[in-house]
Amino acid sequence: MTQRADPSGTPPGLDLLGPCGAEIACLFTPPFLVLHRLSGIYTARVCLLLLLDLGWEARLRQGLTLEDLCQELPAQARKPLAWMLPFLVGAGLLQCQGPSFLLVGTPDLDLQGLRDEVEVAAPGHRSNFDLLDGVRSHIRPFFLEGRTGESLLFDLALFPLWLAYFRNENLAYLPNNLLTLLALREGLPTGAKVLELGAGAGSFAQLVAQRGAAEGWLGRIADYRYTDIALAFLRRAQRDLRTTAPGLPLSFQSLDLNRDLGAQGIEAASLDAIVGINVLHVAHNLERTLVDLHSRLRPGGRLVVGECMKPDLDRPLYLEFFFTFISSFTEVELDPQWRPRHGFLTPEAWAVALRHAGFSQLQATPPPRPLMDRHPDFTVGAIAATV
């Protein structure tokens, strides 16, 4: 989903990718590299166009601070704007003068040209851009009427675009699943009981079934409990996954990681692996959730966390545009030590949080440093943490 080579388009060398390097390197195809680069540019243009849609061009041309902009807006507007303004500076579409943000000249905001380019380089990926357009066209009432991001972005019109995004065929999303799969696969015991959190559209379960069968390790999984808080995803998975993830011994359950897991029927020390891809960052109290997850694993069991990873906490990632309007992403309990920010974290911040919750033997796929120092656009990874 989120890694990109450096601006010159050079993918990281095998020496930076760790023991699974050869499998990871396969992700850096030319279509992926183009898609990733253009997705960042497209997101930035959509982001500025949204501010112009909201009627703020004249004020941006005069220069204004976050405080200026937030006056007269619902309080919920502050976090997205605090993300959007520096993101646009980083993308070269706004200038920063002290605390003020300034629109200068006539920036290139052409979207169609980028769409055409991506259709040539990575055919079939226009729906990623449709999702960005959908966020732009749906989100205005968030700023103007105080409507929630959830109600505006998870409606029937956008749901198919989210489903289209969270697929292994989406080159931009596949790395999230593949890196997590590599981390899960290592050390999976025979007869393993696995639970997936926030399993959503089911793309990870499909990849486990497909790669596990092809590589001969699927039989090691005795039970794969597919869970999500959203009933729409669960129902869809129950209907489709026995066909699309053949051979995976599935069971299904509604599960909210913010509620006590024991009270939701997950017995203590009963699981060999718990895996979650881009879901654990919504834990309202990350410490409580990680401690609870730790207690559900057998000794030697592993929590495998697949996440978008920030090279440093202050660097905006283009993917955050989707989520910065969602309260479960932004409204979490913070702690300066082990939950320094809402949303996506650095690999180091995850390591601190996992150790704080009692996990040990942390293994990252791929090892994040020096990789992310040399390729700051490599922004996805998986960490396996042992009980």
Ligand X SMILES: C[S@@+](CC[C@H](N)C(=O)[O-])C[C@H]1O[C@@H](n2cnc3c(N)ncnc32)[C@H](O)[C@@H]1O
Write out the residues near ligand X by the rule CB under 6 A.
166, 197-201, 203-204, 228-230, 233, 255-258, 277-279, 282, 328
Give bridge partners of residue 277 from the DSSP assignment.
306
> What is the DSSP pairing of strand 380-386 with strand 297-308?
antiparallel
> What is the DSSP pairing of strand 192-197 with strand 100-102?
unpaired
Nearer to ligand X, 51 or 307 (CB): 307
Tell how far CA 256 is from the center of its chain: 18
Which residues touch 336 (CB under 8 Å, ≥6 apart)?
none
Q: Please, what is the minimum distance in Å from the beta carbon of residue 139 to ligand X?
A: 17
Nearer to ligand X, 13 or 262 (CB): 262
Q: Please, what is the minimum distance in Å from the beta carbon of residue 286 to ligand X?
A: 12
Nearest CA to 203 out of 242, 173, 179 is that of 173
Nearest CA to 196 out of 178, 213, 208 is that of 208
Q: Please, what is the minimum distance in Å from the beta carbon of residue 166 to ligand X?
A: 4
Give bridge partners of residue 304 from the DSSP assignment.
275, 384
Nearer to ligand X, 245 or 371 (CB): 245
Nearer to ligand X, 45 or 294 (CB): 294
Nearer to ligand X, 12 or 343 (CB): 343
Nearer to ligand X, 103 or 305 (CB): 305
Nearer to ligand X, 42 or 226 (CB): 226
Nearer to ligand X, 192 or 277 (CB): 277
Q: Please, what is the minimum distance in Å from the beta carbon of residue 351 to ligand X?
A: 21
Nearer to ligand X, 150 or 186 (CB): 150
Residue ranges of E strands in the chain: 64-65, 95-97, 100-102, 192-197, 221-228, 250-254, 271-277, 297-308, 360-365, 380-386
Query: How many C-beta neighbours within 10 Å does residue 271 have?
Result: 23
Q: What is the dihedral of CA 170, 172, 177, 183, to 10 degrees?
A: 150
Q: Please, what is the minimum distance in Å from the beta carbon of residue 346 to ligand X?
A: 19
Q: Please, what is the minimum distance in Å from the beta carbon of residue 125 to ligand X?
A: 16
239's tokens:
């209907």
Q: Please, what is the minimum distance in Å from the beta carbon of residue 25 to ligand X?
A: 22
Q: What is the DSSP string of 109-176?
A: --SHHHHHHHHHHSTT-HHHHHHHHHHHHH-HHHHHT---HHHHHSSTTTHHHHHHHSSTT-TTTHHH
308's tokens:
């978008």
Which residues touch 288 (CB under 8 Å, ≥6 apart)?
none
Nearer to ligand X, 248 or 279 (CB): 279
Cα separation, 360 vs 93, whole angstroms: 43
**Three-point CA angle 13, 181, 177, nearest 5°:** 80
Q: Please, what is the minimum distance in Å from the beta carbon of residue 7 to ligand X?
A: 27
- Is residue 5 within 8 A of residue 35, CB to CB? The reply is no
Q: Please, what is the minimum distance in Å from the beta carbon of residue 360 to ligand X?
A: 25
- Helix, strand, coil shares of the chain, percent, nearest 5, are 45, 15, 35
Q: Please, what is the minimum distance in Å from the beta carbon of residue 89 to ligand X?
A: 27
Task: Name the DSSP class of 285.
Answer: S
